Structure 1
Amino acid sequence: MENLKEKVSYLKGLTEGLELEESKETKLLKKIISVLQDFADAIDELEASQVELEEYVEAIDEDLGNLERDYYDLDDYEEEPDYLEVTCPHCNEVVFIDESIDDEVLCPNCRERIEINDNDNSGKENE
């Protein structure tokens, strides 16, 4: 934002260099330049705060990642879910079904029902 501050300083110097008579318009111009200077200063402060905030958030994110890694055993959460490999009795298509499903599902190929039960020997676990 130095460029903005430089521009405001240039306007201020230009106004002083013109040696305008003290009139209502001159007072207004000086006040406008003063407000522009305040805006430039405020933007400069916001920019510095933003950089500081970004650094702080990055540090928190890194600390949180370390905490998650230390506190939670993330290896347990990264395992693939278990699937049953079942051959459809209607179309002979091999279908992978989530192990937690214990009812029946529709074959994605022929749309016929495939019964899933714990005693079924037609499927095997795929890990």
Structure 2
Amino acid sequence: MESFEHMRRELSYLHGMMDSADSNRLEYKVLTRLIGILDDHIDEVEHMKMRQTELEEYVEAVDEDLNDVEVLLYDENEEDFLEMECPECHQPVIIDEMMLAGEESVHIECPQCGEVLLVTDEDEGEFLRESESEEPYRSDESVPPA
């Protein structure tokens, strides 16, 4: 802001010098017009500088807000999630442990293949297909369903 004030003082000085000059001369008219153009240019540059400062402050505020959102989304404690493998497509499925809180079993759909899976407290990181959990154990099978 000081540079704008300095330029305004210099223009005022030139304008004062022009007041004592002969106003009928061509040089007077040219210099008066140039002083007017410079004064307009200083006003415009000063306005742009103020807008730039406002925008910088706004971008800083948005950046801080974005940082807060990133912290909420990405910096959560990873212990709050279970990662299990889908028995159908063998892709990892991440489950929020809060979904299991107070429930004996929860039905989860695999986001990759759409298989409905059953998660129980005792599964310890393994899924059961929903159909497997409802099928009774048959004696002709060598291993009971997990």
Scaled to the shorter chain, the TM-score interval is 0.5 to 0.7
Structure with the larger RCO, 1 or 2 (CA within 8 Å, 6+ apart): 1
Map of 1:3 onto structure 2: 6
Report the number of matched residues.
Answer: 75
Residue 16 (structure 2) pairs with residue 13 (structure 1): yes
Equivalent positions of 1:55-94 (< 5 A) are 55-73=57-75, 76=78
Is the Cα–Cα contact under 8 Å of residues 12 and 30 in structure 1 kept in the other structure? yes
Map of 1:25 onto structure 2: 27
Structure 2 runs not aligned, ≥5 long = 79-146
CA distance in 2, matches of 1:54, 1:8: 30
CA distance in 1, matches of 2:59, 2:44: 22
Task: Select the structure of larger CA radius of gyration.
Answer: 2
Is the Cα–Cα contact under 8 Å of residues 5 and 41 in structure 1 kept in the other structure? no
CA distance in 2, matches of 1:6, 1:74: 57
Map of 2:38 onto structure 1: 36
Structure 1 runs not aligned, ≥5 long = 77-127
Deviation string, structure 1 residues 53-112 (Cα, Å, up to 9, x no partner): 110111011010011111223555xxxxxxxxxxxxxxxxxxxxxxxxxxxxxxxxxxxx
**Amino acid of the structure 2 residue aligned with 1:56:** Y
Identity %: 37
Is the Cα–Cα contact under 8 Å of residues 23 and 29 in structure 2 kept in the other structure? no
SS at match of 2:55: helix
SS at match of 2:47: helix
Distance 1:5 1:75, change over 3 A: farther
TM-score by length of 1: 0.53
TM-score by length of 2: 0.47
Is the Cα–Cα contact under 8 Å of residues 12 and 33 in structure 1 kept in the other structure? yes
Map of 1:47 onto structure 2: 49
